[in-house]
Amino acid sequence: MSGADRIPDEIAMKAIDPKNYGDDSVHEAFRWLRANQPLGRAELEGVYPFWLVTKHADILEVSRQNDLFHSGDMPTTFTTVEGDQMVRNMTGGSPHLVRTLVQMDAPDHPKYRIMTQSWFLPQNIRKLEDRIRQIAREHVDRMAALGGECDFVNQVALHYPLHVIMEILGVPPQDEPRMLKLTQELFGAQDPELNRQRQEAMNNADAFAQIQAVIADFFMYFKAITDDRKASPREDVASVIANAKLDGQPINDFEAMSYYVIVATAGHDTTSSSTAGAVWGLCANPGEFAKVKADPSLIPGLIDESIRWITPVKHFMRSATADTELGGRKIAKGDWLWLAYPSGNRDEEVFEDPDAFRVDRKPNKHLAFGYGAHLCLGQHLAKMEMRILFEELLPRLESLEFAGEPRLSQGNFVSGPKSLPIRYRFR
């Protein structure tokens, strides 16, 4: 590593500080990095050094080479040295509190992924289309009943994907508020309005204790569902997980619980944020609203553009399993890398006018779902849910505008719109 590789500390801080995701100023740091140090090394106090990968091509390159860049050897999301050590002390050396697909590498990863992969393929989830449309209609009706003004995040977007994924997991509707709260506490640990303690700056010990408590709650809840589905399997993915086998043996409870947690949590916050992002983008760009209203064949374009524009998953980490070269830099075995998805999704070399929200952007090769072996398992479900909602909503919507200041949540892992006051007229 040469000194020239080092990113100025203030830029590195700007790119990773959860607060800067709350006011969108993080894009200034990413713009600077793409132009001046697209693959630079951050060396900040209290954290392991890491490479900040900000170019679309480099993120793809790392994601594609799953043998060379592992997900599970180091923490899969960013943490401090102190935070990492606390986790390792508690787990007896592992950097992970849960063991989900996200933390696995080959040979285990493909074996676990295959357990549910076919369930999430387009040809299978197509069977859910009618039921999802019914749920979408209920949410659009609810919006109509709100009388022309609502907070789209809190009254619509947070509930619709939650309802879909909970039905898929076999969680009854009366328990959805509990699942929503747990997910918000898990992903919202960095946002003072969303974390369990409702406090400004949580230290490592507090944040760690919160995450541990949330995971314990999740595990307790899903244990009952696992027992039920083992005794009487149904058509849902809960039954697939509960009865999954690895090399002929049932998977253990810890791994089954972890599987539920990843599907339960990855499956709605991200989709809610993207759904809210679509409405945000349409309010901010009345011309785009007019375009997609006039031509519903643009709805899939609206969906992809919203996911690109919001990019709800802000990063995942990888670590190098061997010395290698990337973007002209020498990466050493063991080096840690931060894949900056929001930056890749605004890379000027790939996207014309990248900050603009265009429903007819073509091509739109965003990497909000990642790439390679870990490519989002639920991407077809997420896109289908969003498409159906907008197919139901747009024909009924005559006007749409902001009714107040929209706000983003603070978080450098999973974050997005936190409140979106809108005014609208239904046909």
When CB distances to ligand HEM are compared, the closest residue is 378
> Cβ 282 to ligand HEM, closest distance in Å?
17
Instruction: Check if the beta carbon of residue 340 is closer than 8 Å to that of residue 52.
Output: yes
> Cβ 186 to ligand HEM, closest distance in Å?
14
Task: Kindly tell me the sign of the dihedral angle through the C-alpha atoms of 324, 329, 335, 339.
Answer: negative
> Of 11 and 158, which CB lies nearer to ligand HEM in the complex structure?
158
> Cβ 82 to ligand HEM, closest distance in Å?
25
Sorted by sequence, the CB contacts under 8 Å of residue 335 that are 6+ apart come out as: 49, 50, 51, 319, 320
> Cβ 339 to ligand HEM, closest distance in Å?
7
Which spans of this chain sit near ligand HEM (rule: CB under 6 A)?
Answer: 63, 101-102, 113, 262-263, 266-267, 270-271, 274, 307, 312-313, 316, 368-372, 374-378, 381-382
> Of 63 and 410, which CB lies nearer to ligand HEM in the complex structure?
63
> Of 304 and 335, which CB lies nearer to ligand HEM in the complex structure?
304
SS (H, E, C) the chain: CCHHHECCHHHHHHHHCHHHHHCCCHHHHHHHHHHHCCEEEECCCCCCCEEEECCHHHHHHHHHCCCCEECCCCCCCCCCHHHHHHHHHHHCCCCCCCCCHHHCCCCHHHHHHHHHHHHHCHHHHHHHHHHHHHHHHHHHHHHHHCCCEEEHHHHHHCCHHHHHHHHHHCCCHHHHHHHHHHHHHHHHHHCCCCCCCCCCCCCHHHHHHHHHHHHHHHHHHHHHHHHHHHHCCCCCHHHHHHCCEECCEECCHHHHHHHHHHHHHHCCHHHHHHHHHHHHHHHHCHHHHHHHHHCHHHHHHHHHHHHHHHCCECEEEEEECCCEEECCEEECCCCEEEEEHHHHCCCCCCCCCCCCCCCCCCCCCCCCCCCHHHCCCCHHHHHHHHHHHHHHHHHHEEEEEECCCCEECCCCCECCEEECEEEEEEC
Instruction: Check if the beta carbon of residue 377 is closer than 8 Å to that of residue 101.
Output: yes
> Of 262 and 320, which CB lies nearer to ligand HEM in the complex structure?
262
> Cβ 70 to ligand HEM, closest distance in Å?
11
> Of 110 and 327, which CB lies nearer to ligand HEM in the complex structure?
110
> Of 239 and 270, which CB lies nearer to ligand HEM in the complex structure?
270
> Of 86 and 377, which CB lies nearer to ligand HEM in the complex structure?
377
> Of 118 and 399, which CB lies nearer to ligand HEM in the complex structure?
118
> Cβ 406 to ligand HEM, closest distance in Å?
18
Phi-psi region at 311: left, alpha or beta (left = phi > 0; alpha = psi -120 to 50): left
Rg (CA), the chain: 21
Amino acid occupying residue 327:
G
> Cβ 35 to ligand HEM, closest distance in Å?
24
> Cβ 198 to ligand HEM, closest distance in Å?
27
> Of 380 and 396, which CB lies nearer to ligand HEM in the complex structure?
380
> Cβ 237 to ligand HEM, closest distance in Å?
8
> Of 95 and 378, which CB lies nearer to ligand HEM in the complex structure?
378
> Cβ 53 to ligand HEM, closest distance in Å?
12
